[in-house]
């Protein structure tokens, strides 16, 4: 318990700085690859604390590393700080109330994610110095997780090659070391080129790029019947070719993302989507070209690190909630529509048992640490570029409650909760859990060696980026 006591003492001294960073990043609410203020704030804090900053890593202006210490082991914490478009919402407000209508908001809680990892790095820096220990702690500043990602470019640039282990966390509605896996993803822009003409006077002279894009969507919809259950295909029109219905559209740009458990499966499914696009172009006598813009590997928890992390989480404990926290959480839970609340109730029965339904609805904040399930090999349908880190170095992700039970991510409700006492308590808990996990791992070289063997088995001997080498970070393009 002496390590935990040390962590709590340092955290007490640093918590206002950590919470202040989270609040400022929340207020900045910057979109992927545009997190200049958030990046500047984090690097200034780390530099003031004695970290050596390397800015603009992997050719991404808002990506950076911050190092403290020397020698082995070398370990890191992942920080994210990008927001989501059109999710502006007043902090702590349980009714829809944008700060600025249509502006971004932290609907995934990356403000507390980035600041929480910052806190863990600051605590470990003090631990290394106080105990005169060898070891190098690195804060990895990772932008654009909600966009085309950064960690796969950082891994491809070799930033994780000499790292012994990595801990990260994500704001959630539950306290646990994540045992489920996340799926791989690949995204691309499909650009159709046609021929404009007067839609009324000479339609026979036109070749509609918009028709081609729509036929592609029809074809992909038929493809959905012939793919594995865990796969997903999403799309959005980026350019429909204009707003005049009496002009045959000579251009169209449509974005597609393909998900599947493994990178190999994603690549196979993506090639089928490409064939559909080519068929649509053939049918409309248009041309099609595509540009791969993003790809993430699947995330698999490192079993060796998971045992250490689970032990540390149990020792640190869940956030300590008070009646004001429960009152706010309840108001957020019941701000959802009836169908969402029905789904939340079903989740409560599955996770906590039907007999606890009334209790959870009245006090909807997770107050326990759920044990790590080493037998869980299920894939959830979401994706994250943390997956690429786990193929490059031993990696574990924690989930820590920062929102009401049943909370739906990427919503105004999540934005509102992400700058609240609930989020702050969850974030400070995450600092303790990550720092304690890192200390326990540092002291156990056998665990580090086992964790590395798992990665080597997983990646076949070396990290392989799911993106072609020609694909660069799509700054200003995604």
For 151-205, give the DSSP string.
HHHHHHTTTTTT--EEEEEEEESS-EE--SEE-EEEEEEEEEE-B--BTTT-GGG
Euclidean distance between CA atoms 155 and 330, whole angstroms? 41
Which numeric CATH code is attached to 184-295? 3.30.70.360
Whether 240 shows a pLDDT value over 80: the answer reads yes
Question: Predicted confidence band at 411 (pLDDT cuts at 50, 70, 90)?
Answer: very high
Alpha carbon 121 to its chain centroid, in Å, reads: 19
Q: What is the pLDDT of residue 312?
A: 98
Pairing mode of beta strands 165-172, 395-401: parallel
Q: pLDDT tens digit string along 15-70?
A: 999 999 999 999 999 999 999 999 999 999 999 999 999 999 999 999 999 999 99
Q: What is the pLDDT of residue 330?
A: 98
Residue 206 backbone phi and psi in degrees, to 5: -95, 155
Whether 422 shows a pLDDT value over 90: the answer reads yes
Classify burial at 386, counting beta carbons within 10 Å of its beta carbon; exposed 0-12, middle 13-18, buried 19 or more. buried
E strands, 302-440, in order:
379-380, 395-401
Whether 1 shows a pLDDT value over 90: the answer reads no
Average pLDDT, the chain: 97
Q: What is the pLDDT of residue 67?
A: 98
Q: What is the pLDDT of residue 381?
A: 85
2-182+298-459, superfamily in CATH?
Zn peptidases (3.40.630.10)
Question: Predicted confidence band at 477 (pLDDT cuts at 50, 70, 90)?
Answer: confident
Question: Predicted confidence band at 249 (pLDDT cuts at 50, 70, 90)?
Answer: very high
Helix (H, G, I), strand (E, B) or coil at 383: coil
**To which H or E segment does residue 52 belong?**
strand 52-55
Euclidean distance between CA atoms 315 and 361, whole angstroms? 27
Convert 285-305 to b/e letters by CB count within 10 Å (16 or more is b): ebebebebbbbbbbbbbbebb
Q: pLDDT tens digit string along 312-331?
A: 999 999 999 999 999 999 99
Question: Predicted confidence band at 412 (pLDDT cuts at 50, 70, 90)?
Answer: very high
Alpha-helix runs per DSSP H in 363-397: 386-390
Domain ranges of the chain: 2-182+298-459, 184-295
Q: What is the pLDDT of residue 138?
A: 98
């Amino acid at each position: 318990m002496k390590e935990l006591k040390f962590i709590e003492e340092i955290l007490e001294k640093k918590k206002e700085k950590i919470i202040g960073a989270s609040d400022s990043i929340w207020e900045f609410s910057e979109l992927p690859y545009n997190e200049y203020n958030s990046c500047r704030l984090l690097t200034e804090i780390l530099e003031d604390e004695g970290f050596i900053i390397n800015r603009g890593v992997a050719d991404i202006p808002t990506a950076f590393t911050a190092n403290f210490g020397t020698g082995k082991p070398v370990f890191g914490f992942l920080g994210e700080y990008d927001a989501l478009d059109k999710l502006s919402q007043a902090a702590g407000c349980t009714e829809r109330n944008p700060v600025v209508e249509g502006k971004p908001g932290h609907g995934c809680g990356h403000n507390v994610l980035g600041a929480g990892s910052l806190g863990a790095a600051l605590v470990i820096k003090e631990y290394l110095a106080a105990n005169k220990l060898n070891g190098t702690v690195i804060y990895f500043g990772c932008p654009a997780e909600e966009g085309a990602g950064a960690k796969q470019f950082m891994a491809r640039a070799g930033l994780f090659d000499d790292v012994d282990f990595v801990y990260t966390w994500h704001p959630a509605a539950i306290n646990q070391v994540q045992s489920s896996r996340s799926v791989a993803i690949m995204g691309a822009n499909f650009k159709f080129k046609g021929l404009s003409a007067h839609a009324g006077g000479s339609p026979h002279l036109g070749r509609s790029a918009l028709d081609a894009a729509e036929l592609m969507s029809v074809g992909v919809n038929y493809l959905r019947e012939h793919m594995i259950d865990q796969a997903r295909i999403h799309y959005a029109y980026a350019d429909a070719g204009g707003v005049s219905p009496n002009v045959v559209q000579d251009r169209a740009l449509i974005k597609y993302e393909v998900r599947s458990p493994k990178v190999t499966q994603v690549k196979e499914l993506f090639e089928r989507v490409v064939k559909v696009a080519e068929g649509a172009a053939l049918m409309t006598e248009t041309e099609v070209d595509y540009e791969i813009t993003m790809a993430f590997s699947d995330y698999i928890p490192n079993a060796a690190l998971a045992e250490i992390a689970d032990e540390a989480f149990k020792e640190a404990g869940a956030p300590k909630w008070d009646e004001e926290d429960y009152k706010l959480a309840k108001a957020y839970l019941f701000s959802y529509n009836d169908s969402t609340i029905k789904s939340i109730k079903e989740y409560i029965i599955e996770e906590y048992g039907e007999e606890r339904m009334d209790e959870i609805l009245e006090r909807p904040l997770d107050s326990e640490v759920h044990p790590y399930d080493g037998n869980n090999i299920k894939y959830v349908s979401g994706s994250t570029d943390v997956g690429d880190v786990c193929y490059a170095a031993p990696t574990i992700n924690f989930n820590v409650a920062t929102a009401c039970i049943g909370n739906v991510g990427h919503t105004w409700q999540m934005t509102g909760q992400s700058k609240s006492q609930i989020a702050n308590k969850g974030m400070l808990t995450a600092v303790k859990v990550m720092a304690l996990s890192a200390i326990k791992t540092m002291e156990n070289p056998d665990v580090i060696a086992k964790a590395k063997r798992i990665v080597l088995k997983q990646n076949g001997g070396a990290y392989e980026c799911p993106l072609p080498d020609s694909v660069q970070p799509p700054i200003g393009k995604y």
